[in-house]
């Protein structure tokens, strides 16, 4: 999600004063919930989005904490994103502002109200306020292991009492590549590009815990999770409801311009030129230079995408 830097600073100003440790003590009516937003049709939004909502009707307080804030104006943003050096921010702003953006984009919003105690709500809230401070809000984004969804999973795990238990399902494990493929399979060029550059590490099986890098799976596994403490075991989610149901999204993807068609045409053209050269017994090496130069360049690019994650990430 993108918001302007000015909006981000203004929203933090209304949340808490610079030197205060907390904004206030939440009332008994306060609720902590997880928001899951359906996928959009921009490349950065095709996997959906997650955020945490803190609502307290007693104080007319309704704020969303969003770990998915980034700035396209960051120097060398595309290079940094491709090389795994993207910095994301924790943003905080009014729920109405958050919801309006997704409703305008016609993306559904589902809310899961968490079944946590008042003490746990305060603990989560205090941590989010601390994490949203100027010196704490930036983190190094990783698509599979550290993103807007995994951050929420970790906050709830670490800031609630007892143990959060996610039921494992070893019978139907999928690889990271299989998990993401269903989101962009209809976007033919995006699908082709991701298959080309996503490293072999993505072909490893993902556990239930690891699947929650995707917002849909975070929502799914939270729905079946339990909180286990010394005295009780309780469901993690108290209730679920739809805030906004968007119409079914239709992707505009011309199959006539798909990678298979384009590369098929190129194959035919190269074959036709090569046949004519053979028939005339006259070879023009410019075509060879172009083809092998392009293959060599693409080989270097793909090698960079494949080798770099292997050096930086240990699953």
222 and 288 in a common domain: no
The encoded tokens of residue 205 equal: 């099986």
191 and 76 in a common domain: no
| Position 37 confidence tier, pLDDT thresholds 50, 70, 90 | very high
Q: DSSP secondary structure string, the chain? A: ----HHHHHHHHHHH--TT-S-S----TT-EEEEEEE---SSGGGTT-EEEEEEEEGGGTEEEEEEEEE--TTSTTHHHHHHTT--EEEEEEEEHHHHHHHHHHTT--EEEEEE---HHHHHHHHHHHHHHTSTTTSEEE-BTTTBSHHHHHHHHHHHHSSSEEE----GGG--BHHHHHHHHHTTSHHHHHHHHHHS-GGGGSBPPHHHHTTSHHHHHHHHHT-EEE-SS-EEESEEEEEEEE-PPPP-----GGGSHHHHHHHHHHHHHHHHHHHHHHT---HHHHHHHHHHHHHHHHHHHHHHHHHHHH---
For the chain, percent of residues with pLDDT exceeding 70: 75
133 and 38 in a common domain: yes
- For residue 75, the model assigns a pLDDT of 61
Residues 54 and 128: beta-carbon distance below 8 Å: yes
Residue 233 CB-density burial (10 A; 0-12 exposed, 13-18 middle, 19+ buried): exposed
| Position 315 confidence tier, pLDDT thresholds 50, 70, 90 | very low
Provide the number of structural domains found in the chain: 2
Residue bearing the bigger pLDDT, 43 or 96: 96
Residue bearing the bigger pLDDT, 291 or 306: 291
225 and 89 in a common domain: yes
**Which domain-ending residue is among 188, 215, 244?**
244
Highest mean pLDDT among 133-137, 172-176, 219-223, 270-274: 219-223
* Residues 6+ away with beta carbon under 8 Å from 85: 140
Residue bearing the bigger pLDDT, 151 or 260: 151
240 and 93 in a common domain: yes
Distances in Å between the Cα of 240 and the Cα atoms of 48, 122, 244 are 18, 21, 12
Residues spanned by the domain of 98 = 5-168+207-244
227 and 84 in a common domain: yes
**Which domain-ending residue is among 220, 244, 268?**
244
**Which domain-ending residue is among 193, 226, 244?**
244
Q: Considering the domain boundaries, does residue 249 fall inside one? A: no
Residue 9 has pLDDT above 80, yes or no: no
- In angstroms, the CA 297 to CA 292 distance is 8
133 and 187 in a common domain: no
222 and 95 in a common domain: yes
Span 201-235, pLDDT tens digits: 677 889 999 999 999 999 999 999 999 988 899 99
Q: Considering the domain boundaries, does residue 220 fall inside one? A: yes
* C-beta atoms surrounding 35 within 10 Å: 24
- In angstroms, the CA 54 to CA 23 distance is 12
107 and 44 in a common domain: yes
182 and 278 in a common domain: yes
Q: Kindly report which listed range (7-21, 181-195, 270-284) carries the lowest average pLDDT score.
A: 7-21
262 and 303 in a common domain: yes
What would you report as the CA-atom Rg of the chain, rounded to the nearest whole angstrom?
24
- For residue 278, the model assigns a pLDDT of 80
Which one, of 183, 203, 157, lies nearest residue 149 by Cα?
157
276 and 218 in a common domain: no
pTM exceeding 0.75: yes
């Amino acid at each position: 999600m993108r918001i302007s830097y000015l909006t981000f600073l203004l929203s933090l100003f209304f949340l808490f004063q610079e030197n205060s440790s907390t904004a206030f003590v939440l009332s008994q009516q306060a609720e902590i919930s997880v928001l899951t937003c359906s996928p959009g049709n921009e490349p950065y939004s095709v996997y959906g989005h997650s955020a945490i909502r803190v609502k307290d009707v007693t104080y007319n307080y309704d704020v969303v904490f969003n770990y998915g804030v980034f700035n396209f104006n960051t120097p060398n943003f595309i290079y940094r994103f491709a090389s795994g050096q993207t910095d994301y921010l924790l943003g905080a702003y009014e729920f109405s502002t958050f919801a309006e953006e997704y409703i305008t984009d016609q993306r559904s919003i589902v809310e899961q109200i968490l079944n946590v105690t008042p003490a746990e709500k305060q603990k989560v809230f205090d941590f989010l306020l601390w994490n949203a401070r100027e010196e704490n809000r930036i983190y190094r984004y990783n698509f599979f292991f550290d993103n807007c969804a995994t951050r929420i999973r970790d906050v709830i795990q670490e800031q609630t009492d007892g143990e959060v238990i996610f039921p494992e399902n070893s019978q139907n494990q999928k690889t990271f590549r299989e998990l993401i493929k269903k989101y962009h399979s209809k976007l033919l060029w995006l699908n082709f590009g991701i298959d080309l550059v996503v490293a072999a590490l993505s072909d490893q099986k993902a556990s239930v815990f690891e699947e929650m890098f995707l917002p849909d799976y975070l929502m799914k596994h939270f729905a079946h999770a339990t909180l286990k403490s010394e005295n009780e075991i309780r469901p993690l989610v108290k209730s679920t409801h739809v805030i906004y149901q968007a119409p079914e999204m239709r992707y505009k993807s011309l199959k006539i311009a798909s990678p298979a068609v384009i590369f098929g045409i190129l194959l035919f053209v190269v074959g036709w030129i090569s046949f004519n050269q053979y028939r005339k017994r006259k070879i023009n090496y410019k075509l060879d230079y172009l083809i092998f130069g392009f293959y060599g360049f693409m080989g270097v690019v793909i090698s960079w995408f494949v080798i770099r994650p292997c050096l930086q990430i240990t699953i």
